[in-house]
Chains A and B, each alone.
Chain A
Amino acid sequence: MNAAPFYRVEQKRRGIRLSLLLVATIALSVLFLFAGRYPKPGFTFPSDWTDPMVNTIVLQVRLPRILLALLAGAMLSASGFTFQMLFSNPLVEPGFLGVSQGSAFGAALMIVLGTGSSVLVQLSATFFGLTALLASYLLSKRFRFGGALLRLVLSGIAVSAIYSSALGVVKIVAEPTKDLQDITFWMMGGLWNATWNQIFSILSIVVACLVILFCYRWKLNLLSLQEKTSFSVGLNPKRDRLILLIVATVGTTLTISITGLIGWVGLITPHLGRKLFGSDSSYSFPASMILGSLFLLLCDTIGRTLLPTEIPIGLLTSFLGAFVFIIILSLKHQEGKA
């Protein structure tokens, strides 16, 4: 039988590049454990370890924070990638369909109701994120203007606007010294309150979401085709889509219920992943996950070391993300015709 030498070589090359990316991300994570502003701005040298405070900061502050950056980056990028494949559109991410605003409203509502339970905040964020997704999807089916893609984006804008005005109402009634501050910081996104407890509270579900999406990585390709085609090659596209949409949304909303709104990661890193690893998602999907981790790791490290006061990570990702977005869309060989 005819061998496929090109395929073998290319797969191998992608595999090697993927491993390099992974190693680099791990190496940087370890390195950044020693970057910070205590005892002095810059690097924490081994000689500083005599200070017990350094020990606490590295293990109780920086380590969970770095792990949260890696986890959140992977999750946001994985969901962005999944949404792009499912909607066959390289320009969507959960935020475009109202999921972020929906979960922001859900989280703010719970903060104001003041149960003080972070589990309830997470549940509420997830629930309203899912309803926003559902609303955008159903609305787009009813719209009678534009193509499928434009309808989806428009209904996403409408749903986002409804949820952000509802959020505005919640902010007005919020108790200004504590709740309002919490909400505001949450909206800007940040990993500064990362604790081991918080990580453990979402770890199992987020990892489960990542594993499920990872297992579907090759099938994501097929789901980006016309439904009838993916059906004809033996898939059950309606069921698979539903599963993946829910998994991606739950993973995203749980993540942002802790990190706050971190935009653009889910849009930019899948793009980079496909640029570097090709469109076949069996490689570009894991690559996007790692790139997402790396991107958040870099942004967070810059955010917490550059200035004496911390720069919220959501601001950084939006700033950098928008730039990368503009560059990608201006490039000659862009994906998609939408």
Chain B
Amino acid sequence: MKVLELDQISYTYPGGTQALDSVSFTVEQGQSVAILGSNGAGKSTLLDLLLGWNKARGISLFGKELTEYGRKELGRNLALVPQSEHYNFSFTLLEYTLFGRSPYLSQMGTPTEEDAAIAVEALGEVGLEAYQDRPITSLSGGEHQLLLLARAIAQQSRILLLDEPTSALDPANRMRVISILKNLFEKGKTLLFTTHDANLAYELATHVAMLKKGRLLCYGPKEETVTSEMLTTLYGIPLKVGSIEGRTLIY
């Protein structure tokens, strides 16, 4: 089943800079896709378009044009894990996770006990359920990222969009986030994440879309796309794909 189809997507910012130039690829059910590229390649722009935050023609989600989705309907299909979140109020972890239930509530509604149970379960998936009544302002950087993930899990969407999910994490938290994401993927969620880290792309994705200066360099299964030649072209510096103790490593 086609989850997401991009047909000749171009995007120019109001200021006049063209960020994306006719990017096309298709994401099928059961794929995890890395959008790989260096800073300024157009990864975030693409993510914003997929989220519907910025509008472009030619994106269809489950066969329906993205712009035809209602706000809540889209929220039930797509969840975002942003790179970071600022909060100036000390919500508890559970209260914050409950925000992910918003697409399921009526216009003026507040979360029910059932929503709370779903949120607690989502906190459980990232290992934070013991801290559900703690204020979010007390979290460390790693826990903070896990909480953003929990909120997105509580949204129960079929697709998870992640913006640089591990770029700000130490190795232990990075591994933790990767294993949670792998687990979600195995449960049938479609993952789409931006990254400039080829190792993360190889570890977590089934398919890789490489972006360079707003153009799609290549798209396909990671075994075919993540090659020394491609990566060297993508980043403009010599890179090699090798293997250490059975693990693929880019260096």
Contacts and interface: CB of A to CB of B under 8 A. Distances in A.
Interface of A: 1-4, 6-8, 10, 85, 88-90, 215-219, 221-222, 224-226, 228-229, 231-236, 274, 278-280, 282, 333, 335-338
Nearest to B81: A232
Interface string B76-97: 1011101001111111101100
A221 B100 CA distance: 12
B120 A4 contact: yes
Contact of B88 (A282, A333, A337): A337
Given A88-B87, A234-B71, A280-B91, 15 more contacts: A2-B117, A4-B116, A88-B86, A218-B105, A221-B89, A224-B88, A226-B86, A228-B51, A228-B82, A232-B53, A232-B161, A233-B103, A234-B103, A335-B88, A337-B88
A336 to B, nearest CB: 4
A117 to B, nearest CB: 36
A231 to B, nearest CB: 6
17 contacts: A2-B121, A3-B117, A8-B113, A90-B88, A215-B108, A218-B111, A219-B102, A222-B99, A225-B87, A228-B80, A232-B78, A234-B71, A234-B72, A234-B73, A235-B71, A278-B91, A278-B92
A224 B86 CA distance: 9
Nearest to B100: A233
Interface in B39-66: 48, 51-53
Contacts of A278: 91-92, 95
B88 A88 contact: yes
A215 B108 CA distance: 5
Nearest to A218: B110
A216 B107 CA distance: 8
A4 B94 contact: yes
B171 interface: no
Contacts of A219: 102
B91 A279 contact: yes
B71 A229 contact: no
Interface string B218-231: 00000000000000
B71 A279 contact: no
Nearest to A216: B108
Given A4-B117, A228-B51, A228-B80, A233 B99 contact: yes
Contacts of B110: 217-218, 282
Interface band, chain B: 35 or more
Given A10-B133, A231-B53, A335 B85 contact: no
Contacts of A236: 71
A224 B108 CA distance: 17
A251 to B, nearest CB: 18
A-B CB proximity, top 10 nearest = A234-B75, A232-B80, A234-B103, A4-B116, A234-B72, A233-B102, A215-B108, A7-B116, A279-B89, A336-B88
Contact of B113 (A4, A85, A90): A4
A226 B51 CA distance: 14
A225 B99 contact: yes
B74 interface: yes
Contact of A229 (B48, B80, B88): B80
Contacts, number: 124
Contact of B109 (A90, A218, A226): A218
B51 A232 contact: yes
Contacts of B80: 228-229, 232
B132 interface: yes
B155 A233 contact: yes
B113 A224 contact: no
Nearest to A149: B88
Contacts of A224: 87-89
B88 A1 contact: no
B238 interface: no
Interface string B132-161: 110101000000000000000001000001
Given A4-B113, A234-B72, A335 B91 contact: no
B124 A2 contact: yes
A2 B135 CA distance: 21
B53 A228 contact: yes
Contacts of B73: 234
Given A1-B121, A225-B99, A228-B53, A89 B155 contact: no
B99 A6 contact: no
In the complex, which of the residues B79, B89, B135 has the most CB atoms of chain A within 10 Å of its own CB atom?
B89
Contacts of A231: 51-53, 71
Nearest to B48: A228
A234 B121 contact: no
B75 A6 contact: no
Contacts of A333: 90
Given A1-B121, A231-B51, A7 B94 contact: yes
B51 to A, nearest CB: 6
B33 interface: no
A232 B82 CA distance: 10
A232 B75 contact: yes
B177 interface: no
Contacts of B117: 1-4
A95 B72 CA distance: 34
A235 B102 contact: yes
Contact of A2 (B95, B120, B133): B120
A6 B133 contact: yes
